[in-house]
Structure 1
């Protein structure tokens, strides 16, 4: 396994592979994301446009098996910034973690922890952020596609020092597996001091 760090448009050669990886991982509960490579390429291009974006890539040989992203909140889309503005938190003080995706067969090797460590260290190196933040989808406990024995990542995130902030929420739309069209899903932010 190798970890590769890239910033801004240096991710461009990897966008197609990252798009496929995001679709594969986010098809599972709780995201249940139908996904399309065109949408993913467009989404990832937004990160590529930010010179201070971060991509932490986990490679097995030449194959990307995991990735984690981050970007200054000021470079994120409006749906992510709005809850902070509404709460009186300046988006300029927030470094936003976009996602961590990792193929099932590579889990349990410490890569999830490494993804957080790399993003947090990068936010500290930039030296102007008060907060690291990410958001996660909220699904009802009785969701019909919730697998038996499913364990949410709340304890893992809490162990990393993140606090769930019910006062910081947004809505994102995507098409669930089996749905005919996109529907809005609630997303709740988790925060940790950056310093």
Structure 2
């Protein structure tokens, strides 16, 4: 039986190693194609030790099989300030629903809703007015795109999110099979809480 746990504070910090390994495994797949390593992950995940951060973990017994991260947007301000520069919403009123990762064999059982429910609840508890996330943009004709790939846009729209026109960011990572990092565009989506 799969359960979910909301982790904050010391419980969140204790789970970061397991979360790093899970992110590396899941993000190897489309559309991320991420060739990650644990050293980078440990540094990146430090943002989730800040006050207000949350991890909603999906557990199969004692094994973490999925997780969703979230934090007050200002903890990511250096990455996102330019993208939101023309927006009326102040960054300190936005809760950032960062990554959702779930092993393939556990998909299709409602955990995506549990991930968003937990993060949105954290945003409300912190008094945030909006919830936002970003999705990687890959071309439809990318050679690594699986023939049976189904974008999650419909799921996100049913949860009340909409893409923010012109609000994109660039993140760099190394794709599988490449020797250097390249910039990837990310589209922001948002909804009121």
TM bin, normalised by shorter chain, reads over 0.9
Partner of 2:123: 123
Distance 1:77-1:35 versus aligned 2 partners, 3 A rule: farther
Equivalent residue runs for 1:156-167 within 5 Å: 156-167=155-166
TM-score normalized with structure 1 length: 0.94
Q: CA deviation at 1:34?
A: 0.3
1:150 aligns with 2:149: yes
Post-superposition, which runs of at least 4 consecutive aligned residues in structure 1 deviate over 3 A? none
Partner of 1:82: 82
Partner of 1:10: 11
Q: Which runs of 5+ in 1 are unaligned?
A: none
CA deviations on 1:68-120 (whole Å, 9 max, x unpaired) are 11100011251123311343431011100111110001111100011111111
TM-score normalized with structure 2 length: 0.95
Partner of 2:139: 140
Partner of 1:73: 73
Q: CA deviation at 1:166?
A: 2.6
Q: CA deviation at 1:9?
A: 4.1
Partner of 1:44: 45
3-state SS in 2 of match to 1:82: coil
3-state SS in 2 of match to 1:84: coil
Q: Contact (CA 8 Å) 2:4, 2:114: kept in 1 or not?
A: no
Q: CA deviation at 1:29?
A: 0.5
3-state SS in 2 of match to 1:70: strand
3-state SS in 2 of match to 1:113: helix
3-state SS in 1 of match to 2:81: helix
3-state SS in 2 of match to 1:192: strand
For these two proteins, the number of residue pairs brought into alignment is 192
Partner of 1:187: 186
